[in-house]
Structure 1
Amino acid sequence: MNKKLLSLDGMSLKELFQKGDIGTKLSFLIMGFANLKEKQWTKGLLFLLSEIVFLIAFVNQVIPAFQGLITLGIKQQGLTTKTVDGIKIQVATEGDNSMLLLIFGLASLIFCCVFAYIYWCNIKSAAHLITLKEEGRKAPSFKEDLKTLTDGRFHMTLMAIPLIGVLLFTILPLIYMVCLAFTNYDHNHLPPKSLFDWVGLTNFGNVFSGRMAGTFFPVLSWTLIWAVFATVTNFFFGIVLALIINTKGLKWKKMWRTIFVITMAVPQFISLLIMRNLLSDSGPVNALLAKWGWISASHPLPFLSDPVWAKFSIIFVNMWVGIPVTMLVATGIIMNLPAEQIEAAEIDGANKFQIFQSITFPQILLIMTPTLIQQFIGNINNFNVIYLLTGGGPTNSTYYQAGSTDLLVTWLYKLTVTAADYNLASVIGILIFVLSAVFSLLAYTRTNSYKEGAAK
């Protein structure tokens, strides 16, 4: 292991064991022994109590939890018939629940990791006592240690409770979700048939082959196409709109800016549901076009009912919702561009397009690059626009639990809520994370800010 990771007041574990007295050596086996030897009673007893509690919990809870984590249960739940007051009823018999066994097993792993950290603190405390002895200083009392936690290391004290919350409500569910990807937990293993097993990488193989592959790769392709077009169209037209509104001599600039910002004031889900009604086959848009005689009333334009039309409609509606955001950011950048640089370019004979190409756009792009990366990743996971506008439809009979406009994230939702294929949904969740992480890293490492920081 890395020596820096094992560094204890300038010593390694081996050096500490060789240099330490009998109290330090016994601290490797009996936690808090070095503290008790130096009359740090409270601190030493707390370390010893934590070891006793861990050993009792390890025998009574952790070992059975680890066994359950390995087997995921043996005894199947079932139904038995009982007669109550002459009436036969079916009663569920007790059995193992793989879901609970998996959760308890993972919780036990986290519990062991927490104890390992406490054990490391015990060893570190023993090393610190040796350092104090060599420097001729007295070992601090428990009150002095508490004062340090509320003064010099107060940030660690404040982080303790949030860290516990993160472990229980973020890390544990996340690990649980990842583990489901390696099981066969689907709609065939719901209660009372609540046992499922480890299947290794079988689910990943299923996603990349067979019928699932015929769904995964088209949905993945549409997800990337959607993310690119949704990001580029909002960025480009947002900048164009900002340039138009900030043109010299344009009247009522505030009014124009306010009109476009109104779309941001309305909750997005309301706007999307309204657009869904407007663009439906029997909606106002088709009714108005039929009234004008542009289309036949019996053949409305399939804005949301045809796969190709629906995809264009989604991109267009997203532009209507997202362009004002880019317009506001670009407006702030344009208003703070160096006027002297633009005036010098005009004196040199540069036209407006050349000024935009060489001065305005590069500076906007430099400042907005992190925002573009964030918007791209956000569009990969843009659940609202797809689900509220089309619901992933129109339906596609060749896809498994997905429609023609479903993104990976909406497909994941359907696999979880509709199909109850939690194992496949977990695989898709992992792939979405990998996809987002790879694109984020590739984009970020190519930004000027990253290159300048790496050069330093």
Structure 2
Amino acid sequence: MLDWVGLTNFTNIWSLSTFRSAFGAVLSWTIIWALAASTLQIVIGIFTAIIANQPFIKGKRIFGVIFLLPWAVPAFITILTFSNMFNDSVGAINTQVLPILAKFLPFLDGALIPWKTDPTWTKIALIMMQGWLGFPYIYVLTLGILQSIPNDLYEAAYIDGANAWQKFRNITFPMILAVAAPTLISQYTFNFNNFSIMYLFNGGGPGSVGGGAGSTDILISWIYRLTTGTSPQYSMAAAVTLIISIIVISISMIAFKKLHAFDMEDV
């Protein structure tokens, strides 16, 4: 027999102190993660596409191959590789990269950053890693859009005395946004539920924020913990899943409406 529990599972998230604190911590990090990681990969992708599209750049095919390397390697391999590179004691970042940077940045001399043992540094590493993993797709998309923008628009702007920033703000970026807005929004919704990078890099650790959640768990990876732990909490996992769905659908609908993402009349 099944017992109808109504909204009990949702009220438990707020009434039980352990789950309330865990939900607040995980939700806040999920939002920060989705915003920071997605924005970083979009900025890098657009920037590299603009650079590669400049007429004075030589060897554009070489740049294209280099920029597509993160896309060519399976994501789980890249994540596991970075997990080893960010190892606190023997990882390449601390043992090889930082000593080189210390020659130009003296404050890094002898520094060993706790990438995988300090929650703050782990979060920074995760955001940087997603920037590397995600920018090639934005690069390819943006490059195609840039090559389709009529050159007459830039010539007219030049005659009117527009500088490089004004051309980007009034011509390039609006054209990119008009065509790619749905895809750019989807990057945020994807990273909101990006389970693999959290699980493979450091298992949601280090440490815990209660309720079975690790300090770098996002909502989707917390659901995994709730359903696969020694004492599975399927009811809580189901409630969190519904909350995720409501959040993602609501934000996506608002963003699509505000940006007129599917309105192609003015393109």
Q: How does the TM-score come out when normalised to structure 1?
A: 0.54
1:230 maps to which of 31, 37, 42: 37
Partner of 2:146: 334
- The alignment status of 1:261 with 2:261, answered yes or no, reads no
CA offsets, 1:78-112, max 9 Å, x none? Answer: xxxxxxxxxxxxxxxxxxxxxxxxxxxxxxxxxxx
2:192 maps to which of 376, 380, 383: 380
Count how many residue pairs are aligned between Structure 1 and Structure 2: 256
CA distance 1:315–1:291, shift in 2 (3 Å): closer
Q: Alpha-carbon deviation of 1:202?
A: 1.7
- The alignment status of 1:434 with 2:217, answered yes or no, reads no
Partners of 1:219 and 1:407 within 8 A in 2: yes
Partner of 1:408: 219
CA offsets, 1:91-140, max 9 Å, x none? Answer: xxxxxxxxxxxxxxxxxxxxxxxxxxxxxxxxxxxxxxxxxxxxxxxxxx
Amino acid at match of 1:276: S
Partners of 1:445 and 1:451 within 8 A in 2: no
CA offsets, 1:202-230, max 9 Å, x none? Answer: 21111123210000011111111111111
Q: Alpha-carbon deviation of 1:300?
A: 2.7
Question: How do residues 211-230 of structure 1 correspond to structure 2 at under 5 angstroms?
Answer: 211-230=18-37
Distance in structure 2 (CA, Å) of the matches to 1:304 and 1:259: 28
Which runs of at least 4 in structure 1 moved beyond 6 Å after TM superposition? 290-293
Partner of 1:420: 232
Partners of 1:289 and 1:295 within 8 A in 2: no
Partner of 1:198: 4
Amino acid at match of 2:144: G
CA offsets, 1:228-262, max 9 Å, x none? Answer: 11121111221111111111111101101111101
CA offsets, 1:146-178, max 9 Å, x none? Answer: xxxxxxxxxxxxxxxxxxxxxxxxxxxxxxxxx
Partner of 1:247: 54
User: Which structure 1 segments of 5+ residues have no match?
Assistant: 1-70, 73-196
CA distance 1:242–1:291, shift in 2 (3 Å): closer
Distance in structure 2 (CA, Å) of the matches to 1:377 and 1:394: 25
Q: Alpha-carbon deviation of 1:328?
A: 0.8
Partner of 1:284: 92
Partners of 2:212 and 2:226 within 8 A in 1: yes
Amino acid at match of 1:285: I
CA distance 1:303–1:449, shift in 2 (3 Å): closer
Distance in structure 2 (CA, Å) of the matches to 1:329 and 1:452: 17
Provide the aligned C-alpha RMSD in A: 1.9
Distance in structure 1 (CA, Å) of the matches to 2:19 and 2:113: 32
CA distance 1:267–1:447, shift in 2 (3 Å): same
CA offsets, 1:408-428, max 9 Å, x none? Answer: 000000000114111111111
Distance in structure 1 (CA, Å) of the matches to 2:158 and 2:109: 50
Partner of 1:393: 205
Question: How do residues 79-94 of structure 1 correspond to structure 2 at under 5 angstroms?
Answer: none
CA offsets, 1:251-278, max 9 Å, x none? Answer: 1011011111011111000000000000
> Which of these two proteins has the greater Rg computed from alpha carbons?
1
**Structure 1 SS opposite 2:210:** coil
Distance in structure 2 (CA, Å) of the matches to 1:266 and 1:452: 34
Partners of 1:279 and 1:286 within 8 A in 2: yes
**Structure 1 SS opposite 2:207:** coil
Distance in structure 2 (CA, Å) of the matches to 1:289 and 1:328: 29
**Structure 2 SS opposite 1:446:** helix
CA distance 1:451–1:256, shift in 2 (3 Å): closer
CA offsets, 1:36-80, max 9 Å, x none? Answer: xxxxxxxxxxxxxxxxxxxxxxxxxxxxxxxxxxx43xxxxxxxx
Question: How do residues 17-416 of structure 1 correspond to structure 2 at under 5 angstroms?
Answer: 71-72=1-2, 197-209=3-15, 210-282=17-89, 283-288=91-96, 294-296=108-110, 300-396=112-208, 398-416=209-227
Identity %: 39
User: Which structure 2 segments of 5+ residues have no match?
Assistant: 103-107
Distance in structure 2 (CA, Å) of the matches to 1:452 and 1:339: 21
Q: Alpha-carbon deviation of 1:348?
A: 1.6
CA distance 1:289–1:350, shift in 2 (3 Å): closer
Q: Bigger relative contact order, structure 1 or 2, given CA contacts below 8 A and separation 6+? A: 2
Amino acid at match of 1:379: N
Q: How does the TM-score come out when normalised to structure 2?
A: 0.90
Partners of 2:181 and 2:261 within 8 A in 1: no
